[in-house]
Amino acid sequence: MFSASTSKSACLKSLSLARSTVTYLRLHRILSDGKMTFNRKRYTLRNFKRIIKTLLAIALKPITHFMSRSQRLSKLYFSLFSSEFKREQHAVLSGHRAYQRSLHHIGDSSVLLRRNIHRLEKGLIMRPRRSAFGKDYLNETLDCYSRCLNAASIDRQELQWAYDVLTAYFSVVDLSLPWLDKAYKRFCALREPQKNSGYVPYRRSEGVKSETSFEQFLTLCQQRRSVRWYQEKAVSMKVIEQAVQAASLAPSACNRQPFRFYTALQGKHVQDIASIAMGTAGFIHNIPAVIVVVGDLSAYPFERDRHVIYIDGSLAAMQLMLALETMGLSTCPINWPDIEEKERSLSLRLGLKPYERPIMLISVGYPDPEGMIPYSHKKSPSQLIKEVL
């Protein structure tokens, strides 16, 4: 037997369905009118699409509730009723293929070399440090290092870092072990890029020291706001490069840095790119420069890492925005929801590969002192912290 609340819910659903059906019939009659202008028909078609989505949402609601009960049912739901993840799935598989290709076709950087050298670095800083470590990936690292030595396009500093860390590694491990002795002789037989440059782990006390106090940093964070109104003043590539230098120091999983900053500084290009995003309505004409943070899934051979581009890209984007703020520029991070039509448009505009995915857009410019900024009340630490006991 149905309860009163269940009956009420069913009535509301029926009423919504009836209203949508009536609207559909009206739209059909209007579209059949030969006197209707093209713009009017386009506007009506958009409404028609919204009606279809509403009807589908109503019809699928009980199915959604049922299939959300388990992972297998959820997988079946998205296989049958939704294609929202198809671009991500294609990007992940394309990334796998590109990763395998990158192992033998070295560009200006090698993600495998970066990852494995960083793994050796972590072994070097362990306390206590083991006399032998890295057996599972040492030969793979030397294979990759050897290929990079013969690659004309590889970044020389990346190669120098690899050489320095490998030199430090073999200076502390137990070479009396046959597998380490064999690997060491193989390393010695390889060509040296140049003399040791000291690109190796160091004590915390030896690192760069900032004089920035918490109060100063908090002031910078309070100064940085999402600014939408800018002066008519050009943004130079030089300041962007300086900010990216700071952004590149952000933490990144195994130091792979799977992101790029696609930057537009010219009016037409800025407008073309910014117009694709949904969050630029009302101020798009006032944006002097725009940066698209793009993640690169070819840095990973496993599906488990598919979200790392968003983590690493966002960490770098935050440092980028803070760096720009110190040079007198303001920014506004622009939300980038996963909408197929917009993904396709931006990918075509930027010439992205299937495994490259936009993470966010950032507008950049010198702020208009008279431009208004939303107050945007922030949650308190007590709301944000959940102590684990």
Q: Which residue has tokens 């990346």?
A: 158
**At CA 91, angle to CA 89 and CA 93, rounded to 5?**
70
Residue 301 has pLDDT above 90, yes or no: yes
Least confident of 48-62, 74-88, 268-282, 290-304: 48-62
Mean pLDDT of 270-293: 95
Q: Which residues pair with 333 in a beta bridge?
A: 362
Report pLDDT for 10.
Answer: 47
Cβ–Cβ under 8 Å, residues 312 and 255: no
Tokens 């990079």 correspond to 148
Among 18-27, 192-201, 275-284, 372-381, the minimum mean pLDDT is found in 18-27
Residue range 127-168, pLDDT digits in tens: 999 999 999 999 999 999 999 999 989 999 999 999 999 999
Pairing label, strands 259-264, 330-334? unpaired
Q: Where are the domains of the chain?
A: 4-80, 90-189, 220-365
Tell me the mean pLDDT in the region 39-60.
69
Backbone angles phi, psi at 258, to 5 degrees: -85, 55
pLDDT, tens digit, for every residue of 339-360? Answer: 999 999 999 999 999 999 999 9
Residues 223-261 have pLDDT tens digits of 999 999 999 999 999 999 999 999 999 999 999 999 999
Name the pTM for this structure: 0.84
Helix (H, G, I), strand (E, B) or coil at 263: strand
3-state secondary structure (DSSP) of residue 276: coil
**pLDDT at residue 26, rounded to an integer:** 56
CATH number of 220-365: 3.40.109.10
Q: Where are the alpha helices (DSSP H) in the chain?
A: 4-31, 38-67, 71-80, 86-102, 111-125, 138-149, 156-172, 178-189, 214-223, 237-247, 267-274, 308-326, 340-350, 381-384
Euclidean distance between CA atoms 389 and 381, whole angstroms: 17
